[in-house]
Amino acid sequence: MMGQVPPGVTVVQTGDLGAERWLRFRPVAGGVYTNLTTYENLKVQDPDIVYQRQEPHWILPEVLAGGTLAMRAQRESFLPRFPREKKEDYDVRLAAAVCPPYYLRIERMLVGMLTRKPVVLSDVNNLMLDHMQDVDMMGSNLDVFLRKVAQLSIRFGHVGTLVDMPRGDEGDNTPVTEFLRPYWVPYSARQILGGRYDIVGGQKKLVLLRLLETPIVAHGDYGYEVVQQVRVLRPGSYQLFRKQESTASEWKELTDGETPTYIDEIPFAVAYANQIQDLESRPPLEDAAHLNAQAYRCLSDQDTILHIAAVPRYNLFGVPAEVEEVESGPNSATAWPVDARAEFTEPVGTSYQYRFEQIDRIEKQIAELGMSQVMGQNYTNASAEARHIDRSQGDSPLQSVAMGLQNMVNECLRYHGLLMNIQDYGSCEINKDFVAARLDPAIVQQMIQLEANGKITQETLLRVLQGGEWMPDGFDVATEIEDTAKARADALADRQAQLDAASGGLP
């Protein structure tokens, strides 16, 4: 099937999802194995091997993003049962388990750093600027859309955006109107079933792409149904396959068609947060996610131990064995036999502190790992001066994520323009200043004095103030200089006119 197997290549035959698959692995540098895979009879809905390599890495971040209820729903996958623990006892322990939101907190913080400033658009066609106020035709402007894709990129490792055009043939009731315009659709890595690249015109381009979608369609008079469909894209054409349980249990081709003749490529752009190869990545916060799962188990174990062992117990001495229960409290009294007594026994619990310290240590590791893996620097034990010195170097990992998102948005702007047959689609600039660093007021005063004394120019002063976050978002230095120069000229002209009027026209 594969021909001659070269030396050093291991051949493994695997199970499938309705297709025969042969995987070939060969060792590369560092003892890591890379695969050379041959597929036979792969169906349209089957994920490829690149997808399958990534899927195990997605599960934990996805579940943690769902919070405590999602972790409980996984039961023993993330909270194992103790040896000989009864099911009813485990269910009680599971119902009380709480997952701390360490991972989700770091994910939201990083997304907030990436999107804390609006996207700056340059030289974009006015009509396209209007479209950017509702870029996905669901009410999201470009900044809101970017926040969505940034979260998907950090959670899964990469995210894709399809610049599509409504056609009214999607198998639903989408109307065909004369006001057709492109719109952007985000796809997480989990929705990208597979793709194929090839060299076209001296450049590597995407020539085949399969995207998994789950649209909601009407069912009956008042209900709805979630269906599965796969969008197959090729340069210049598309196909749509759907599986709808209420009408058929098999996958069927729903529709096909051609894309506008003035775009000869698949209008799909990808942003990577932790790239391995084309359409393959790893979640950058995966290690932090595993530590969060460990904290979840430790907290559950600690609660169980405290519930069983750390509660003072009522011990009876010299009391007849037939006395099984003793009522106690401020409104009760107990008659004891001669020489009998009762007292509380409280466990010493010297080992409990180590359990609490372990949980604190895990929490600290998660915080440091989340920052160092993505920010490239440790904020917990560094002085302010050290953080300032290391900032340009430490920000580089998250900056690479921002650059990936910026490249994706620029590609989407290009596709948007091509679909509208517009050439001035422009470009964007995404925030790369992730930590607020407002300039000290004393330094601002010194810079103003330097400008007043003619030591620096007005442009230099304005750029320093803009970089020090003393100016509002969208502030343009060149426009401000032009406006202030005009205002000064107008003021001088008015002053001259007043002097001329006061002197009666005398020289």
| pLDDT of 382 | 45
| pLDDT of 390 | 46
Q: Distance (Å, rounded) from C-alpha 103 to C-alpha 320?
A: 55
- Radius of gyration for the chain, computed over Cα atoms and rounded to the nearest angstrom: 32
Say which DSSP state 476 is in: -
Tokens 């979260």 belong to residue: 151
> What three-state secondary structure class fits 250?
coil
Give the chain's mean pLDDT: 78
Q: Which pLDDT tens digit goes with each residue over 274-287?
A: 999 999 999 999 98
| pLDDT of 444 | 74
| pLDDT of 478 | 79
Q: Which pLDDT tens digit goes with each residue over 325-338?
A: 666 655 655 666 76
Task: Rank 250-254, 287-291, 409-413, 436-440 by mean pLDDT and report only the highest.
Answer: 409-413
Q: Which pLDDT tens digit goes with each residue over 174-212?
A: 444 445 889 999 999 999 999 999 988 888 999 999 999
pLDDT at 169 over 60: no
| pLDDT of 57 | 94
Its pTM stands at: 0.72
24-35: b or e for each residue (b if 16 or more CB lie within 10 Å)? bbeeeeeeeeee
Question: What is the pLDDT confidence band of residue 384, given thresholds at 50, 70 and 90?
Answer: very low
pLDDT at 392 over 80: no
Q: Distance (Å, rounded) from C-alpha 459 to C-alpha 480?
A: 9
Cβ atoms 415, 163 nearer than 8 A:
yes
pLDDT at 488 over 90: no
Q: Distance (Å, rounded) from C-alpha 369 to C-alpha 289?
A: 10
| pLDDT of 353 | 65
pLDDT at 38 over 60: no
More confident residue, 395 or 487: 487
**If you average pLDDT over residues 456-463, what whole number do you get?**
82
86-95, 104-113, 162-171, 254-263, range with the lowest pLDDT: 162-171
CA 284 to chain centre: 10
Q: 131: left (phi > 0), else alpha (psi -120 to 50), else beta?
A: alpha
| pLDDT of 333 | 59
191-224: b or e for each residue (b if 16 or more CB lie within 10 Å)? bbbbbeeeeeeeeeebbebbbbeeeeeeeeeeee
| pLDDT of 453 | 83
| pLDDT of 179 | 56
Question: What is the pLDDT confidence band of residue 158, given thresholds at 50, 70 and 90?
Answer: very high
Q: Distance (Å, rounded) from C-alpha 443 to C-alpha 91?
A: 61
More confident residue, 383 or 398: 398
Cα-flanking dihedrals φ and ψ of residue 271, to 5°? -120, 125
pLDDT at 378 over 60: no
Tokens 């995210």 belong to residue: 159
| pLDDT of 143 | 94
144-153, 159-168, 310-319, 486-495, range with the lowest pLDDT: 310-319
Question: What is the pLDDT confidence band of residue 479, given thresholds at 50, 70 and 90?
Answer: confident
Question: Bridge partners of 436?
Answer: none
Q: Is 468 exposed, middle or buried (0-12, 13-18, 19+ CB in 10 A)?
A: middle
| pLDDT of 327 | 64
| pLDDT of 447 | 79
Q: Distance (Å, rounded) from C-alpha 64 to C-alpha 107?
A: 11
18-27, 260-269, 487-496, range with the lowest pLDDT: 18-27
| pLDDT of 344 | 60
Q: Distance (Å, rounded) from C-alpha 238 to C-alpha 265?
A: 11
Kindly give, in sequence order, each residue whose CB lies less than 8 Å from that of residue 463, ignoring residues fewer than 6 positions away.
Answer: 477
| pLDDT of 130 | 93
| pLDDT of 394 | 43
Closest to 205 (Cα-Cα) out of 277, 261, 273, 267:
267
40-44, 52-56, 141-145, 241-245, range with the lowest pLDDT: 40-44
Q: Quick one: CA dihedral 95, 97, 98, 103, positive or negative?
A: negative
| pLDDT of 423 | 87
Q: Which pLDDT tens digit goes with each residue over 12-23?
A: 444 444 444 445
pLDDT at 416 over 90: yes
Amino acid identity, position 27 = P
CA 71 to chain centre: 19
Residues in the chain: 507
| pLDDT of 313 | 62
To the nearest whole percent, how much of the chain has pLDDT over 70? 69
Cα-flanking dihedrals φ and ψ of residue 87, to 5°? -60, -40
| pLDDT of 375 | 53
Q: Is 231 exposed, middle or buried (0-12, 13-18, 19+ CB in 10 A)?
A: buried
> What three-state secondary structure class fits 453?
coil
| pLDDT of 443 | 79
Q: How far is CA 37 from CA 21, 31, 347, 400, in A?
A: 8, 19, 60, 30
| pLDDT of 62 | 94
Cβ atoms within 10 Å, residue 440: 10
